[in-house]
Amino acid sequence: MKKIFFLLFLLPNLLFAQDLTYARYIIDTLASPAFHGRGYSFSADSLAADFLAKELKKNRIKPIETDYYQTFKINSNVFQGNMFVAFDKNELVAGQDYIVDSKMNSVNGSFKVFTIDKKIAFNEKKVKKIFDGDLSEAFILIDTVGTKGVLNDYYLKLVYYGYYNVAGIITVSDNLTYVPSQVNGGRSHIILKRDALPEKIKKIKVDIDAVLKTDYVTRNVIGYIRGQVDSFLLITAHYDHLGTMGTNVFFPGAHDNASGCAMVMSLAKYFGDIRSIPHYNLVFVFFSGEEIGLVGSKFFTENPPFELSKIRFVLNLDMMGSGDEGVRIVNSTIFTDEYELMLDINREYELLPQIKKRGAAKNSDHYYFYENGVPSFFVYSLGDYKEYHNIYDTRENIPLPGFSGMYMLFRVFMQKLHTI
């Protein structure tokens, strides 16, 4: 009897361990160098889409139409060629020492550098002399720290409004976080990590290739399990990330959002394995185009494979790599019955430290469903892991402390949603 009890006690933990092993496999694959940051350089989005479609098929999840793909077009400014920056004779490392403005054009050449920081910011004559000179063959490095606002006007005119005819701009930041762009045409702009800022810079040498891909074909990936009623429960995550910065540097995106893909695929695997008919039609969606403006989910809502009015709920999962401090749910102040169900499940199974509320926000792929009247949650994990939109969000660094608890929370939620 004691042996049977011990095995029953161990069973949930064994299941969690299996789920975590599979989740690690999904994350390790999507965040690997072979997938180039899942952007639009080197057809990386297609590599990721094909991998996810194959996993859906292996997990007995059927395509909702003739295949697993919903195609659409985007524009994306990509950096898949040369990426060279050097101050005087010291070459910098992309992603570690600097990033580039995602909107910028290609640039190649050697340029003078004029530095404006707290050492000269209060000398109005010196600052005016720099800006009154010929800057067409020069980069301006502007560091507003310690200048008490005296450079704010110059900074705005230089960086945001483009009033000055300069070859390029260098700004300084404590953290390097990258956001991709759908447009090309911005002036050369390098964002420098403060740790990499030398005391003196005379020249900058740059060789950066930027390519605007227009009408680039990318794909949402969609799988389906038929339910008992003609109503749909969508479990979604975006698989795209930031792509590359040159040929050697990429943004792995383990937390954002290989971890969300791992969660959705783990849930798909469970429901595909048990082979019992769920109450709702279950649709597992992996969106492309999230990072450049929620493009994939917007396209889905404008071209749905079934009527949006038939969707009972959307559970959108993004950044599932943490969780030691629980989760936060966007739209939980609006859809209170579903939020209370989450709380009840969490209390019953003692899964997560907390489930925090948040109101409506346009910050992930749930948004256009919500705007079209579809009840939806966006859930993201809370905790110590802070790597975000940088080169350090790697498969080696991601901890997954709350993954098993979140997995159980979502799984039971999917099974109990029809009871409320």
pLDDT digits (tens, 9 = 90+) for 330-347: 999 999 999 999 999 999
> Could you tell me the sign of the dihedral formed by the alpha carbons of 190, 195, 201, 205, in that order?
negative
Bridge partners (DSSP) listed for residue 172: 192
Same domain, 166 and 255: no
Same domain, 351 and 272: yes
Same domain, 174 and 121: yes
The three-point CA angle 352-358-363 to 5° equals 105
pLDDT digits (tens, 9 = 90+) for 5-28: 344 444 444 445 567 999 999 999
Same domain, 198 and 231: no
181 closest CA partner among 221, 155, 213, 156: 213
Domains contained in the chain, number: 2
pLDDT digits (tens, 9 = 90+) for 104-151: 999 999 999 999 999 999 999 999 999 999 999 999 999 999 999 899
Helices 259-274 and 403-416, interaxial angle, to 10°? Answer: 50
Same domain, 221 and 183: no
CATH number at residue 96: 3.50.30
Same domain, 135 and 267: no
Domain finish residue from 166, 185, 208: 208
Same domain, 61 and 87: no
The three-point CA angle 382-340-414 to 5° equals 80
* Entry pTM: 0.94
d(CA 186, CA 78): 13
For 163, 242, 393, 409, the CA distances from 250, given in Å and listed in that order, are 33, 8, 10, 33
Same domain, 288 and 413: yes
d(CA 79, CA 71): 23
pLDDT digits (tens, 9 = 90+) for 23-57: 999 999 999 999 999 999 999 999 999 999 999 99
Tens-level pLDDT at each residue, the chain (420 residues)? 444 434 444 444 444 556 799 999 999 999 999 999 999 999 999 999 999 999 999 999 999 989 999 999 999 999 999 999 999 989 999 999 999 999 999 999 999 999 999 999 999 999 999 999 999 999 999 999 999 989 999 999 998 888 899 999 999 999 999 999 999 987 899 999 999 999 999 999 999 999 999 999 999 999 999 999 999 999 999 999 999 999 999 999 999 999 999 999 999 999 999 988 999 999 999 999 999 999 999 999 999 999 999 999 999 999 999 999 999 999 999 999 999 999 999 999 999 999 999 999 999 999 999 999 999 999 999 999 999 999 999 999 999 999 999 999 999 999 999 999
Helices 44-58 and 2-30, interaxial angle, to 10°? Answer: 150
Same domain, 343 and 252: yes
Same domain, 349 and 238: yes
Same domain, 166 and 24: no
The three-point CA angle 390-394-397 to 5° equals 115
By residue range, what is the domain housing residue 248?
Answer: 2-78+213-419
177 closest CA partner among 32, 325, 77, 291: 291
Same domain, 197 and 336: no
